[in-house]
Structure 1
Amino acid sequence: MTHDQARLQESQDVIVSAIAQSMVIYGVSPSVGRIYGVLYFSDEPMTLDEIKDQVAMSKASVSNGIRELIETEMVTKVWKKGERKDHFIAEKDFLRNFINFFVKMLRLERNLIMKAVDQTEPTIQEIANETNDEKAEKVAKRDLELIQEAKDYLDWIMRLANSMESGDIFEHIPKTKT
């Protein structure tokens, strides 16, 4: 390796570390971030073994990390003619990665909260309308107002997610400064 190649590798390592650290902000482990970073700088699709050697992790850990990255569409499995092993490539568009990840998280949040609302709202509504307990009625009515505010929020985040996915958000916030 020439001096310049070593300097380039060192620079890539710094960026890979920064990518790994930034992914922690979104709840992704640094090791998964390093896997993504290695694939990001790779010109060719890589096998699990090749990735394992680059990130100094076990093959099982790399496999789990790859699975997580595939779920968020940050990495894609590709077929390479004449080879039996799976190969993987990184989605290099950070904005696309952010949108895919963020939309997935917004939908997950909505589903979790709506499941709880669907399960409890009928009971709260019944108490608000039919109880003889004045204190319980007051609390139930307040809870129904809070649930409505939560539903309004969930509606908003779904519209946000949909506008991100469709690209409509870029009419309001362009991808680049004009």
Structure 2
Amino acid sequence: MSQADKLSESRDVLESALAQSMTVYGVTPSVGRIYSVLYFSKEPLTLKEIQDHVAMSKASVSNGVRELMETEMVTKIWKKGERQDHYIAEKDFFRNFIVYFVKMLRQENNLIMKAVEHSEPLLKEMASELEDAATKKEVEEDLKLLEHAKSYLDWTMRMANAMDSGDIFKYFPKASSKETSE
């Protein structure tokens, strides 16, 4: 096997693994293939160039690139003298992780907080007015669950803020390049 063949095989294995791992970020393996092609590309690629690498329809590539742009894993760039848009991948896995998970934590927080803000006043009102002991106990248990949910939401927002600000790396530092190569 030639050196070029070995490099190609290695790249294929890495691209496949990266594409499969993208499901963690909520994208399909086919969209992950688009990301992996851009990740290993030495220069920005057009939609047509991406399409040639991934053997997908132009519409699928376009939709996949748009999806990756929404998660900030891919950026559209302009090249002087070129009419077509070009795309590059964000190659910092730490940044990809943070952007995605902070977004997901904030979405979760918004959904749950809306429900808590709607339900808590109703439950408190019921707790003060109820005379049936069994129902009152259920309402009080639900209020305790809401307090637990609010505690969780506070914790996840503090974690999201620490990730967003980079403070998370004070507690979980990135390994230096030297440490990861040993």
- The normalised TM-score by structure 2 is 0.91
Secondary structure of 2:45's counterpart equals coil
Deviates more, 1:115-124 or 1:28-37: 115-124
Amino acid at match of 1:123: L
Name the SS of the counterpart of 2:44 in structure 1. coil
Give the CA deviation at 1:54: 0.6
Q: Tell me if 1:103 matches 2:102.
A: yes
2:61 — aligned with what?
62
- State the Cα deviation string for residues 37-70 of structure 1 (Å, max 9, x = none): 0000111111111111111111111111111111
Counterpart Cα distance in 2 of 1:85 and 1:129: 65
Deviation at 1:126, TM superposition (A): 1.2
Q: Secondary structure at the match of 1:77?
A: strand
Which runs of 5 or more structure 2 residues have no equivalent in the other structure? none
Q: Secondary structure, in 3 states, of the residue corresponding to 1:45?
A: coil
Contact preservation (8 Å) 1:79, 1:86:
yes
Name 2:19's counterpart in structure 1: 20
**What does residue 143 of structure 1 align with?**
142
What is the Cα deviation at residue 27 of structure 1? 2.8
8 A contact 1:75–1:89 mirrored in 2: yes
Distance (Å, rounded) in 2 between the aligned partners of 1:63 and 1:133: 60
Which ranges of 4 or more aligned residues in structure 1 deviate by more than 6 Å?
A: none
Counterparts of 1:75-86 in structure 2, within 5 Å, are 75-86=74-85
| 1:36 aligned residue | 35
Other structure's SS at 1:76 match: strand
Query: Does residue 128 in structure 1 map to residue 115 in structure 2?
Result: no
Query: 1:6: how far off?
Result: 3.1
Shift of 1:158: 0.6
Aligned residue type for 2:162: S
How far 1:26 moved relative to its partner?
Answer: 3.6
Q: How many residues align?
A: 177
1:89 aligns to what SS in structure 2?
strand
For residues 3-62 of structure 1, what are the alpha-carbon distances to aligned partners after superposition, in whole Å with 9 as ceiling and x for unaligned? 433322221111011011112234321011111000001111111111111111111111
Verify the 8 A CA contact 1:52 1:59 in the aligned structure 2: yes
Do 1:127 and 1:136's aligned partners in 2 also have CA atoms closer than 8 Å? no
What is the TM-score with the length of structure 1 in the denominator? 0.93
Compute the RMSD of aligned alpha carbons: 1.6
CA distance in 2, matches of 1:39, 1:68: 14
Match of 1:117 in 2: 116
The one-letter amino acid paired with 2:46 is T
CA deviation profile, 1:103-160 (whole Å, cap 9, x unmatched): 1111111111111112222211111111223222111111111011101100101100
Q: Which amino acid in the other structure matches residue 4 of structure 2? A: Q
Structure 1: distance between partners of 2:62 and 2:114: 32
Aligned-partner Cα distance in 2 for 1:137–1:54: 63
